[in-house]
Amino acid sequence: MEQYAINGGNPLVGEVEIGGAKNAALPILAASLMTDETVLIENMPDVRDTNILLNAMAGIGTHVERIDRHSVKINGSLINDLVVEGDSVKKIRASYYFLGALLGKYKKATVVLPGGCDIGCRAIDQHIKGFKALGASVQIAYGMITAQADRLVGSHIYLDVVSVGATINIMMAAVLAEGRTTIENAAKEPHVVDLANFLNSMGANIKGAGTDVIRIRGVERLHKTEYAIIPDQIEAGTFMFAAAATRGDITVKNVIPKHLESISAKLIEIGCEVREADDAVRVVASRPLHHTHVKTLPYPGFPTDMQPQIAVTLGLSQGTSIVTESIFENRFRYVDELIRMGASIKVEGNTAIIDGVNRYTGASINAPDLRAGAALVIAALSAEGMSTVDDIRYIERGYEDFHIKLQKLGAQIDKVESERELQKFKLKIS
């Protein structure tokens, strides 16, 4: 029964070191098997999703050597199986990155159809469209997707929707295709740029990542590299909103402030003080917070992965706020849990109408998915009294040592695994 036990009501104060970006690490790890030479990846987050991916890589014959908690050496020269399957890999969305990586290198891949957080219908038609444009045939049967080609040839691909996953997958396959590929209406997220930088450091020729037109000139092979993953924009943003919701003062360190601009802008709008340094951002919430409107959009817009965290904060901000989710249709599943903590929120379609309340109160709640889970922990930390948060395996998919980092900021939070440990926590806080 792993759960977080939380006694809320204290402002979180201090500094927190942000780790490598999960959503950059996943494609970078998958792409590292595209060369037969050894690749060293640093600043890798030690979270459940990256570990599942590394196990799956080892499962098909990749040599994976952990140097330390955040560094790994990967060698894909002895891959002996182009079928990636298994229960754990099915549960992570990023398993589909094996398609682009293996198709690019071996011109064939079969991967179990991806799961991931239940945040709405997560189509992969744009990935398939891209692979087909490069000359691959794609079949789905018995829960597996297979892409194969005699040869991959560069093409002009216009994405119908801005998709992080499709942009990344097409980019991976195209770097080893013959000739030139153009991806239009590409995703511009920092992790798309990080993957492009990583592939370029392996000898790929990718230009324009970070804009909506990415141009790739295919190369024959990729070579070894050493690469450090960028800091996690969403982990940083989560702690920034934890400062706001608990009326605290948190400095997130080891970040790229530019990646946090849309998050900082909203925090300033609702009344926080945000101070940027070279690689740190400090958020101080000493005044009462007020309402705002926010709509999630592809980068550089406000990230959908920060939507639950801002909603939890707006639930404690004076006035009526409106949060519109424009990326995933099922990303308000945490609202019922928040209402049980005293929030006043009404969801209509893809919009949440939030009437700010003065306080939340502790409750027993469930994490419905990764980001919503983290947001509910923030709610519990700002609430009066004790809460328990169940299903924390979702949170552990993407946050390394979440409760330990929060403890260092003064939070009363423990991970408990039995009724006895829960009783101990209750005694400690009484």
Supply the residues annotated as catalytic.
Answer: 117
Q: Which is nearer to ligand EPZ, 26 or 270 (CB)?
A: 26
Residue with Cβ nearer ligand EPZ (74 or 124): 124
Q: Residue 117 corresponds to which tokens in the numbers above?
A: 């957080």
Instruction: Output 129 or 415, the one with its CB closest to ligand EPZ.
Output: 129
Q: Shortest distance, CB of residue 386 to ligand EPZ, whole angstroms?
A: 27
Beta strands in 229-333 (DSSP E): 249-253, 273-276, 280-284, 293-295, 320-324
Q: How far is the CB of 27 from ligand EPZ (least distance, A)?
A: 7
The Cα 101–Cα 149 span in angstroms is 13
The answer for residues whose C-beta is within 8 angstroms of residue 97's C-beta and 6 or more apart is: 26, 27, 30, 31, 53, 165, 168, 169, 172
Alpha-helical (H) ranges within 253-368 are 261-269, 307-314, 335-340
- Nearest position to ligand EPZ, beta carbon: 165
Contact criterion met (CB below 8 Å) for 262 and 302: yes
Please state, as a whole number, how many other Cβ atoms lie within 10 Å of the Cβ of residue 201.
Answer: 15
Name the residue among 195, 208, 145 with its Cα closest to residue 26: 195
Residue 98 or 328 having the CB closest to ligand EPZ: 328
Euclidean distance between CA atoms 23 and 10, whole angstroms: 31
Name which of 91 and 371 has its Cβ closer to ligand EPZ.
371
Shortest spacing between CB 371 and ligand EPZ, in angstroms:
5
**Least distance from C-beta 40 to ligand EPZ, angstroms?**
22
Q: Residue 52 is encoded by which pair of tokens? A: 């599942």
Q: In sequence order, which residues have a C-beta less than 8 Å from that of residue 267 and are 6 or more positions away?
A: 240, 241, 244, 274, 283
Q: Closest Cα partner for 18 from 426, 420, 401, 417?
A: 401
The pair of three-digit structure tokens given for residue 429, joined into one six-digit string? 């806080």
User: In the complex, what is the shortest distance from the CB of residue 278 to ligand EPZ, in angstroms, rounded to a whole number?
Assistant: 26
Give the type of residue at 135.
G
**Residue nearer to ligand EPZ on the CB measure, 121 or 141:** 121
Pick 175 or 327: Cβ nearer ligand EPZ: 327
How near is the Cβ of 174 to ligand EPZ at its closest, in Å?
16
Instruction: Report, in Å, the least distance between residue 290 CB and ligand EPZ.
Output: 27
167 three-state secondary structure: helix
- Residue 200: CB minimum distance to ligand EPZ, A: 20
| The two three-digit tokens of residue 24, written as one number | 């950059």
Q: Which of 63, 154, 49, 142 is nearest to 96 (CA)?
A: 49
Question: Residues 6 or more apart from 273 whose CB is under 8 A from it?
Answer: 282, 283, 284, 285, 286
C-beta closer to ligand EPZ: residue 164 or 365: 164
Q: What does the alpha-carbon distance between residue 337 and residue 312 come to, in Å, rounded to a whole number?
A: 11
The alpha carbon of 132 is separated from its chain's Cα centroid by a whole number of angstroms, namely: 27
The residues of the shown chain that bind ligand EPZ, judged by CB under 6 A, are 23, 26, 93-94, 117, 119, 121-127, 161, 163-166, 187, 304-305, 327-328, 370-371, 398
